[in-house]
Structure 1
Amino acid sequence: MARRTFFSFHHDEDNWRAWNVRNSWVVRSQDQIDRGFFDSSVFEATKNESATALKNFLRNGLENTSVTCVLTGELTWQRRWVRYEIVRSVLKGNGLLTVDIYGVENRRGMVGSKGADPLAQVGLYKVPGGIFFAEWKGGKWVKYDDYTLAVPAGDLWFNAPTSDTVVQISSHYVRYDFTKQNGRQNIGDWIETAAGLAGR
């Protein structure tokens, strides 16, 4: 079965690092396909149209994927659209994983600093009205604004929350370090592990 992977990352800050990670994956088997590497000008143009247009753009990018790999630098956890890609990935049942890329050199030959896990900035909680997404914002958990519908418990591959205490998405997924854990050699296996956890 074809393994289609969507790569989520901070386009402004980590584009160079993300492309280096992608290029290290060109030795993958032919049935592995990457998504999410948009031309920057297309991404920026869509972002400038409207939030609705960008949401549609990102949802289309996630179509026919089974895994979402969040390539994480120092500031990725703060990015609104990375959070949206995470939420949409949970909704469609994708496997998810975080791969830290701060140790990969940027175009100036500099490495970055480790940032927070983006999957830990998004969570789920249950109230009488259903299960909803939350995000860590302004030092506290708040209801997620970019997707406000209730989430059917049966649509989640992991155990649904049972209280109003937010359960971080990161508690169900694995975080790796591309540099320290030889991602050039191992990222394909990490992606397969994420797919397996989600039953994809």
Structure 2
Amino acid sequence: MARRTFFSFHYEPDVWRAWNVRNSWVVKPENQESVGFFDSSVFESSKKESPDALKTFLRKGVVNTSVTCVLTGKDTWQRRWVRYEIARSVLKGNGILTVHIHGVKNKDGVLGTKGANPLDAMGLYKTSNGIFLAEWTDGKWQRYSDYTTAIPAGDLWFKAPSTDTVDALSKHCLTYDFSAQNGRQNIGGWIETAAGLAGR
């Protein structure tokens, strides 16, 4: 069965690095299928229409995927649309992993700077009204603004929060460094591990 993987990343600075990482994923080509790697021009045109149009575009991108791989550069953790892709992945029950890609050269042969893990900046918490997504913004946790509906605990593949203290998603998902951990050889296994953790 093909492993359908959505790749989430910050386009402008990291598309070249992301493209190289995605193309290195050749461990078992018969068991892989990248369905979430968009041409930047398509992404930008959707973004120009309206935020709602871009949300629709990104929701469709996650459909029929089982894993979301967050390819992380310097500022990925604070990008609105990366956060939205992560949120939709949580709602869908995808396995999620972070792969730092700062050690991959860009088209000019320049290395990047390591950024924070985006999964440290998103999480879940419980109130008397249900379980909600949270995001780290302006130096504190706040209810996630792009999806404000309660999430049934049974929809989560990991242990649901039991208090109003935010559990960061990174508590449940694994993180890797593409360059330091031989991602060219290992990324297929990382994706399979993320799928397995989510029961996908």
Find the counterpart in structure 2 of residue 75 from structure 1.
75
Say yes or no: does 1:95 pair with 2:88.
Answer: no
Instruction: Say which SS state the counterpart of residue 30 (structure 1) adopts.
Output: helix
Name the % identity. 70
- Is the partner of 2:30 in helix, strand or coil? coil
User: Quick one: distance in 2 between partners of 1:192 and 1:61?
Assistant: 20
- Residue 184 (structure 1) aligns with: 184
Residue type of the alignment partner of 2:167: V
Aligned to 2:111: 111
For the residues of structure 2 that align with 1:108 and 1:59, how far apart are their CA atoms?
32
The residue matched to 2:176 in structure 1 has which SS?
strand
Q: TM-score, normalised by structure 2?
A: 0.98
- 2:35 matches 1:31: no
Q: What CA distance in whole angstroms lies between the structure 1 residues aligned with 2:15 and 2:29?
A: 24
Q: Secondary structure of 2:7's match?
A: strand
Q: Measure the CA separation in 2 of the matches of 1:35 and 1:14.
A: 18
TM-align CA RMSD:
0.8
Residue 159 in 1 paired to residue 159 in 2? Answer: yes
Structure-1-length-normalised TM-score? 0.98
Q: For residues 69 and 45 of structure 2, what CA distance do their matches in structure 1 show?
A: 24
Report what 2:86 is aligned to.
86
Q: Partners in 2 of 1:54 and 1:30 — Cα distance?
A: 31
Instruction: Give the superposition deviation at 1:35.
Output: 2.1
Paired residues of 2:27 and 2:188 also in contact (CA < 8 A): no
What is the alpha-carbon distance in structure 2 between the residues aligned to residue 162 and residue 47 of structure 1?
Answer: 36
Deviations 1:113-164 (A, max 9, x none): 1100001110000011110000000100011010000000000011100110
Please state how far the C-alpha of 1:26 moved relative to its aligned partner: 4.0
Verify: 1:142 aligned to 2:142, yes or no: yes
Structure 2: runs of 5 or more not aligned: none
Specify the SS of the correspondent of 2:154. Answer: helix
Distance 2:30 2:139 in 1: 44
Rounded to whole Å, the distance in 2 between the matches of 1:152 and 1:63 is 19
Deviations 1:13-55 (A, max 9, x none): 1000000111112453223101221111111010010111001
How big is the shift at 1:76?
0.3
Residues 70-124 of structure 1: CA deviation (Å, up to 9, x unaligned) = 0000110010000000010011100000000000001111101110000111000
SS across alignment from 2:42: helix
The residue identity in structure 1 corresponding to 2:99 is V
Worse-matched range after superposition: 14-23 or 30-39: 30-39
Runs of 5+ consecutive residues of structure 1 not aligned to the other structure: none
